[in-house]
Amino acid sequence: MITIDTVAGLKEQMARLRQGGKRIAFVPTMGKLHAGHLHLMHEARQYAQAVVASIYVNPLQFGANEDFDAYPRTPGHDKVALLAAGVNVLFMPRDDEMYPRGRDAHTVVEVPCLSNELCGAFRPGHFRGVTTVVYRLFDLVAPDVALFGKKDYQQWLLIRLMTADLGMPVEIVGVETVRETDGLAMSSRNHYLSATERQTAPHLYMTLCSLRDRVLRHGSVTGEAEAAAIESLKTQGFRPDYVSVRRQDDLAMPRSEDKRLVALAAAWLGKTRLIDNVEFELKTGI
């Protein structure tokens, strides 16, 4: 595995791969890698001959009171894991390589409307930071395909919309969420949970499954069902930001004829913000 920390070095290596006729798959990460990340790397092998990963804790997607400084960084562990996963190139840039004119002066890329809903409503500017850094990385790597975990369903959809709107020749693949044995979605932030909180955390997924089952049983999405899910989370000790059932394709509120739905939630447990979602499909429209 070749590890690169400069834009010039990355561009040189990407040119070599393309000259060799290699199809390139790209998996961007913020490090603190777990089995879910490594699953993305293995899946990437199904789409291309060369796999490129990045590790960069992007400051633009953190709010003023969020955990940028405390975000877990484990570069040694991550390099060993990526090497074992068969990654060909690892890009680990510094801020001045990613944003040479400084964070505040860098051009931003934003998908309007959807960026400000759901998680975007509670984390202003977060998705603008995500789409800006992903656009920058896509421009540098020029991959044929990029893989993203669907745990952050809204992020995955926003990146799909961005690449389509801007005509970027990158296939965006969503990979199913990897879970612990008790159902908790794997996340780099799970290590923030105390032992007691870790026992409680799977209830987020369980609540979404119950909401899904209720919608499937009644064949309708109601505010009462979402409110009941929120109350259930509160009973377990969560502080929910939202629980909502949306259309899979665009996260709009579902209409009577819609069948392909996703239940999404974000909730705090102690000092840790957890997100999750469950996709499902009705036999007939709601």
Q: pTM, whole model, 2 decimals?
A: 0.95
Burial group, residue 8, by CB count within 10 angstroms (0-12, 13-18, 19+): exposed
Domain-by-domain residue ranges, the chain? 2-175, 188-278
Which secondary structure element, helix H or strand E, spans residue 211, and what is its range? helix 203-218
53 and 8 Cβ atoms separated by less than 8 Å: no
Task: Tell me if domain 2-175 and domain 188-278 are identical in fold.
Answer: no
Assigned CATH class of 2-175: alpha beta
Given 34, 37, 39, 218, the catalytic residue? 37
User: Residue 173 corresponds to which tokens in the numbers above?
Assistant: 């693949």
- Give 10-residue mean pLDDT values along the chain (286 residues): 98 96 97 97 98 97 90 96 98 97 94 96 97 98 98 98 97 98 96 97 98 92 92 98 97 93 98 97 76
| The architecture CATH gives domain 188-278 | 2-Layer Sandwich (3.30)
Q: Is 37 an annotated catalytic residue?
A: yes
- Alpha-carbon Rg of the chain, whole angstroms? 19
pLDDT in tens, 218-230: 888 888 999 999 9
